Amino acid sequence: MSKKNERSANDIQKEMESYLKIESVDELFSDIPDSIRLKKKLKIPAGLSERDLSLYVDEVLSLNQPVVSFLGGGTQNHYIPAIVQEVMNKPELLNSYTPYQPEVAQGMLQGLFEYQSLINELTGMNVTNASMYDWATATAEALLMAVRLLKNRTKVLITTSIHPDRLAVIKNYLAGPKINFELVNYNQETGELDLADLKMKLSEDVAAFYFETPNNFGVIESQSEEICKLVHDVNAKAIVGVDPISLGIYRPPGEFGADIAVGEGQGLGNPMCFGGPHFGFFSVNYDRKLIRQMPGRLVGLTKTEDGKQRAFVLTLSTREQHIRREKATSNICTNQSILAFGAGVYLSLLGAKGLKETAEYCLSAAHYLAVEIDKLTHFEAPIFKGSYYNEFVMRITKGKMAKLETKLIENGIVGGYTLEKCHPELGEAAIFCVTEMHTMNEIDKLLKILQEFDKELGGK
């Protein structure tokens, strides 16, 4: 190594300070008030060599214990075929950046166009954008879109049977433009929407109503068509949140009258990843007014200048913030493109038959678990009479939930998502989720532990 490169960190720092015409690094922080500026040096340990860093990370990872999770209420563990990750990891695709230059991004644009087409088929809608950040932001943007469409209305209705995290994001989005919202109750017997409460709260100042099927309790909304009709009777927009895999066996939103369909795409070939990154899908019926107000990117199909070849491009870009920032329909830009691309690969691979088989297993396995739990003395499952898909609410004798959770963890199982904070009226209840990743042996292991716990409580 030449002596020219044998410079210490101090030498390099002095050279940089000289170039910037400052005496010390402290001058770079002169804008920070002296009263709040840190006066002492941070106790940051010295850097590690590559080998030592690798050993440290391995040590941390070794603390992870393999568990079987039945945690409901959001992210779900679905099987990811190996080819999905293989395609997503191709260097020319592994990027969430918006493909502004169609000349050099035909591969990504075609993949996103096919993703949009597949979600259209799944939801029964006509136009889907190239992805949103997640289900929560897709829902919030749908409500904002409805208010833009119906300019004189500044109120929206939202079902109470919604995940609290999703509701928190929606509230945040509505706060800025000062859009009022009101919650519509659920029927405490069926778990479905309380139609009487919806009828009472619908009025000419309501821009939209948002509901889900299955909802946060796992209950399928059998009244979807009637709900949409009631909303349309006051000329408002019906927005519905759906589980995309459930659409392998259930009626799609486009068939029961929804104006906008949104949902979480994580289960379509993307890992759970501690809750993200995920992506949201956003679909509407073919209506120029709706399409012009859609958030996010839209990939369209056209022809090359000579008219001889097809070409994929971003279309209707004047809706977007990189063209008209102050009048943009949303500020979503570079986002979840690679995850949506992976969802397209996943759906293409499974096809209608594979998706139907996956949904049927989720449904039957969840029903098997719920029926067996309900046989226990100190348990009730499901607590609602409405039909359910792959999630259901289980209730246990008061004061025993924490002890049950501990027992499950000790046996390598994560139980349900507890509802005590967001729905205290349900008592000690939790949402359990079953997917195709749960084998019958794992389900029976859970049941055995619950049976033992039931006996400890004095059950038969």
Residue-wise pLDDT tens digits, 8-63: 888 899 999 999 999 988 889 889 998 998 888 888 988 899 999 999 999 999 99
Statement to judge: residues 384 and 321 lie in one domain:
no
247 burial type by CB count under 10 A (0-12 exposed, 13-18 middle, 19+ buried): buried
Statement to judge: residues 127 and 214 lie in one domain:
yes
61 occurs within a structural domain: no
Residue-wise pLDDT tens digits, 288-311: 999 999 999 899 999 988 888 999
If one counts the domains in the chain, the total is 2
DSSP 437: T
Q: 250: pLDDT confidence band, cut at 50, 70 and 90?
A: very high
Statement to judge: residues 116 and 252 lie in one domain:
yes
The SS3 of residue 341 is helix
Statement to judge: residues 341 and 194 lie in one domain:
yes
Residue-wise pLDDT tens digits, 148-165: 999 899 999 999 999 999
- Among 320, 346, 372, the domain-final residue is 346
For the cut 90, the answer to whether the pLDDT of residue 459 exceeds it is no
- Residue 318 has a pLDDT of 75
Summary mean pLDDT of the chain: 93
Q: Are 195 and 223 in contact (CB under 8 A)?
A: yes
47 occurs within a structural domain: no
DSSP 385: -
55 occurs within a structural domain: no
Statement to judge: residues 208 and 287 lie in one domain:
yes
CATH of the domain at 367: 3.90.1150.10
Residue-wise pLDDT tens digits, 305-338: 888 899 999 888 877 777 777 777 887 777 789 9
Residue-wise pLDDT tens digits, 252-262: 999 999 999 99
335 occurs within a structural domain: yes
Q: What is the spatial distance between Cα 315 and Cα 288, in angstroms, rounded to a whole number?
A: 13
Closest CA to 389 of 220, 211, 268, 242: 220
Q: In what order do the strands lie in the sheet with 379-380?
A: 379-380, 391-396, 429-433, 417-418
Q: Are 260 and 296 in contact (CB under 8 A)?
A: no
Statement to judge: residues 226 and 368 lie in one domain:
no
Statement to judge: residues 265 and 296 lie in one domain:
yes
Q: What is the spatial distance between Cα 402 and Cα 15, in angstroms, rounded to a whole number?
A: 60
Statement to judge: residues 257 and 207 lie in one domain:
yes
201 burial type by CB count under 10 A (0-12 exposed, 13-18 middle, 19+ buried): middle
- Among 346, 381, 416, the domain-final residue is 346
pTM assigned to the model:
0.88
16 occurs within a structural domain: no
182 occurs within a structural domain: yes
Statement to judge: residues 229 and 186 lie in one domain:
yes
**Backbone φ and ψ of 300, nearest 5°:** -120, 170
Statement to judge: residues 319 and 367 lie in one domain:
no
Statement to judge: residues 255 and 142 lie in one domain:
yes
Question: Which residue in this structure is represented by tokens 């994560």?
Answer: 414
225 occurs within a structural domain: yes
- Among 315, 346, 377, the domain-final residue is 346
Residue 140: domain span:
82-346
**Backbone φ and ψ of 414, nearest 5°:** -100, 125
Statement to judge: residues 339 and 422 lie in one domain:
no
CATH of the domain at 278: 3.40.640.10
**Backbone φ and ψ of 396, nearest 5°:** -125, 160
Q: Report, as an integer, the average pLDDT of 90-105.
A: 82
Q: What is the spatial distance between Cα 270 and Cα 331, in angstroms, rounded to a whole number?
A: 24
10 occurs within a structural domain: no
Sign of CA dihedral 313, 319, 320, 322: positive
Residue-wise pLDDT tens digits, 71-89: 998 899 999 999 999 999 9
